[in-house]
Amino acid sequence: MANVVVVGAQWGDEGKGKIVDWLSERADVIARFQGGHNAGHTLVIDGEVYKLHALPSGVVRGGKLSVIGNGVVLDPWHLLSEIERIREQGVEISTDNLMIAENTPLILPVHQDLDLIREEAAGKAKIGTTGRGIGPAYEDKVGRRTVRVADLADDATLDNRLDRLLAHHNALRKGLGVAEINRDELKAKLLEIAPKILPYAAPVWKVMAEKRKAGKRILFEGAQGALLDIDFGTYPYVTSSNVIAGQAATGTGIGPGAIDFVLGIVKAYTTRVGEGPFPTELDDADGQRLGERGHEFGTTTGRKRRCGWFDACLVRQTCATSGVNGIALTKLDVLDGFETLRICTGYDLDGQHLDYLPTAADQQARCAPLYEEVPGWSESTEGARSWADLPANAIKYVRRVEELINCPVALLSTSPERDDTILVTDPFAD
């Protein structure tokens, strides 16, 4: 059976939540493979709005196994709070439908402290972190001093992990003029939460292998977007993990050969939250209109998103780095009513024409977009469920996007409602 990876192909906020929910109805397992609770997915099901941050989108669907993979960094206190909130909305969450990889690193209060302290000290050099401890948690994972889920079950191992962790963090805090961490208090918090988290712990790599062998359909759910990837994003204004599709394998412990289809989620225009380059950003009435019509405020932070025209050059790049087989084009209806639309096809860098975004940050900042104008449409596309429901110019816009990014449209989304979706290619087709 086919296994599908869903990744954002811009700077996040592309509408992955709806698409994952749409696909999850046909999947048996839904696995988160990277990121933390700094990412947010909004699902609208029968008029009910669910806002998820740590939980995989599949939890709102009965009969599915939701997995938090080892590529995620997990704030256990936030997770329990989110579970309780979702339960209040009538969703059953138990060890029968939620599993956490034993080797998942934990986000601790010390990580959030360090995140906020360093961002404040950076001044103009800040990178726009959400301040939730994601970056410092990934740093400790690479530094081999993290506390992982399995460590909560063994007191001696937990002591060793805390000794190594605090030797590093207390030295940092001293240099930043901050009081040292109270080790006893931190350990007490972990021991208190351990019995609430450990029942969900499992060898996810083994479970995933068994599910695949049994012919189960697996949906790999990414967070954020490929332009925030630690290696291939607009560094340093990026997240702290690999976001591209290859991370689905290492972030869950399944081999890359298990991936059959990569679906890139692409918004019909471009948005970004926080600092960093944004070649097609609009500071005019058109940008304001996109933001208002698209309700562009972050699910996690509530921050207003920066808005701009569709950047085909960037999406072509992310489709290549993630090996995207097809895209899900979302929020087409936000473009309704524009007389003329613009699509970025490349950049001008000091008189040189580029068909990709360069790696150097100073060059990225100097890239001026090269636009192609296409006619807009006055008719509504909201709620369209077939090509016949779309205006001719809307179809032409979609076809031009496909040509410019060298990738076909597999799904087309025309509203937040899950059924307002046009299926072109079934990612789960064998």
In the 3-class helix/strand/coil scheme, how is the chain assigned residue by residue? Answer: CCCEEEEECCCCCCCHHHHHHHHHCCCCEEEECCECCCCCEEEEECCEEEEECCCCHHHHCCCCEEEECCCECECHHHHHHHHHHHHHCCCCCCCCCEEEECCCEECCHHHHHHHHHHHHHHHHHCCCCCCCCHHHHHHHHHCCCCCEHHHHHCHHHHHHHHHHHHHHHHHHHHHCCCCCCCHHHHHHHHHHHHHHHHHHEECHHHHHHHHHHCCCCEEEECCCCHHHCCCCCCCCCCCCCCCCCCHHHHCCCCCHHHCCEEEEEEECCEEECCCCCCCCECCCHHHHHHHHHCCCECCCCCCECEEECEEHHHHHHHHHHHCCCEEEEECHHHHCCCCEEEEEEEEEECCEEECCCCCCHHHHHHCEEEEEEEECCCCCCCCCCCHHHCCHHHHHHHHHHHHHHCCCEEEEECCCCCCCEEECCCCCCC
Q: Which residues are catalytic?
A: 13, 41
